[in-house]
Structure 1
């Protein structure tokens, strides 16, 4: 779809209350590579799975804006183009930061927020970067990224490395070659820390206990900053919570979107 001076690719599935799914910034990431395996549990929602600017099938327009800010504006424009005034937002990593930015700037457009190890809020001692971010930035900086580097990156995203299948590595590698981002390293993502208190939406943070990309030690700052936030931590799980623990993730998120455990019990 056209969103002003850019085009944004998306996949739509299901019908009901709208949910916008926002993927991470890892090499080869797309909306469907992040969330395609979850959608069958959400067929009673209108799911909009976005390729954020510069990833998947969405070209990256020239901009000097921080990437989070730029992407959030384009997602809002996409919602308008699709006739969506208000939606739940589900975001992983970079996509979680984009969701937070929308909630800060356009609170009337956000119902509930689900954030899986979101970016955009760094501790004061960073860098040095966690190993997952080091690998992500290293892949972005490579002039000719290799499949071996992609395999190393994918293995860092999951606690159970058997889930880092050859098929998954191939899919992410081929996707990264189609749109290999030419970005400063580290990219100018933008800082959301000063505005965390502006997020009024009920917020669920979901974190893998063994996350090596956006570590659990970064969570308390976000949890304390968002007025109506709760945190679920899944053990034996790294950064791709929605992939590695899909069944539990789907259950937790569905419960939260319905209004939480109390509302589910009443229903």
Structure 2
């Protein structure tokens, strides 16, 4: 059930499930993205956590009215939502754009962030772009279209997964319908904001997850983040593109649960 929380003159939409330590799930910036479309299939494995699955400003059911860099604005909204929901500190799990939002919050309010899980996060670009990777080309092209087509959405979704059988008709339809919701237009490419100078300020233990065949945020882009965040480790999943949590859900769930618990498995703890 979609709920809303006041974040200072506007609202943020979210869904909540489970009980326990809080985990905030932050989705990517692709057309039609919502919190539940990114993470709905993972939540059952995290029922012993308090899961807050957010629609970031300008996506899903959350409005956007800002001239700020998108990552900066979204991080402020997430922080305000945490305060309104009585959450002092949480784990953050962020996919792509949402990973950049998580990093920004870890920089500006480190006391509020426990552990970071970042799947091919945005906000940190190499020096040699553009040209953009093919996935980002499709993303920006879809954003720029006056009337985007379902065929363009299908092409975008297929680029997100290595196994194209996972790009189901129902998923394409869901993302296409959501993408048609009216939100303020963005410049192309959008002003996401640059997190590169602030990476050394991230104090949280950080797990980077990357699909080896990612065509949207390529694996080669991981180096700058891995070297910039003091306590970062990288896990690469083969036969996987940009949607790690969707395409490799069982492995994702296992690895993330282990990391959020401090990296110690139950068997090791008992031994």
TM-score (norm 1): 0.98
Aligned to 1:88: 91
Alignment of 1:198-209 (within 5 A): 198-209=201-212
Aligned to 2:37: 33
How far off is 1:90 after superposition?
0.1
Aligned length in residues: 266
Task: Indicate which of 240, 245, 254 corresponds to 2:243.
Answer: 240
Aligned to 2:20: 16
Are the aligned partners of 2:162 and 2:213 in contact in 1 as well (CA < 8 Å)?
A: yes
How far off is 1:182 after superposition?
1.0
Shifted more, 175-184 versus 30-39: the winner is 175-184
How far off is 1:266 after superposition?
1.6
How far apart, CA to CA, are the structure 2 residues paired with 1:262 and 1:32? 28
Aligned to 1:138: 141
How big is each residue's C-alpha offset from its partner over 1:178-237, in whole Å with a ceiling of 9 and x where there is no partner? Answer: 245510000000000000000000000000000000000000100000000000000000
Would you say 1:115 and 2:118 are equivalent positions?
yes
How far apart, CA to CA, are the structure 1 residues paired with 2:188 and 2:101? 19
TM-score (norm 2): 0.97
How far apart, CA to CA, are the structure 2 residues paired with 1:176 and 1:266? 45
Aligned to 1:102: 105
How big is each residue's C-alpha offset from its partner over 1:45-102, in whole Å with a ceiling of 9 and x where there is no partner? Answer: 00000000000000112x1110000000000000000000000000000000000000
Aligned to 1:154: 157
Are the aligned partners of 1:28 and 1:177 in contact in 2 as well (CA < 8 Å)?
A: yes
SS at match of 1:259: coil
How far off is 1:263 after superposition?
7.3
Instruction: Name stretches of at least 5 consecutive residues in structure 1 with no aligned partner.
Output: none
Aligned to 1:47: 51
Aligned to 1:193: 196
How big is each residue's C-alpha offset from its partner over 1:12-41, in whole Å with a ceiling of 9 and x where there is no partner? Answer: 000000000000000000000000000000
Change (3 A) 1:264 1:58: farther
Are the aligned partners of 1:258 and 1:264 in contact in 2 as well (CA < 8 Å)?
A: no
Aligned to 1:57: 61
Runs of 4+, deviation exceeding 2 Å: 261-264
CA RMSD of aligned residues (A): 1.0
Change (3 A) 1:92 1:74: same
SS at match of 1:111: strand
How far off is 1:261 after superposition?
4.0
Are the aligned partners of 1:18 and 1:84 in contact in 2 as well (CA < 8 Å)?
A: yes
Instruction: Name stretches of at least 5 consecutive residues in structure 2 with no aligned partner.
Output: none
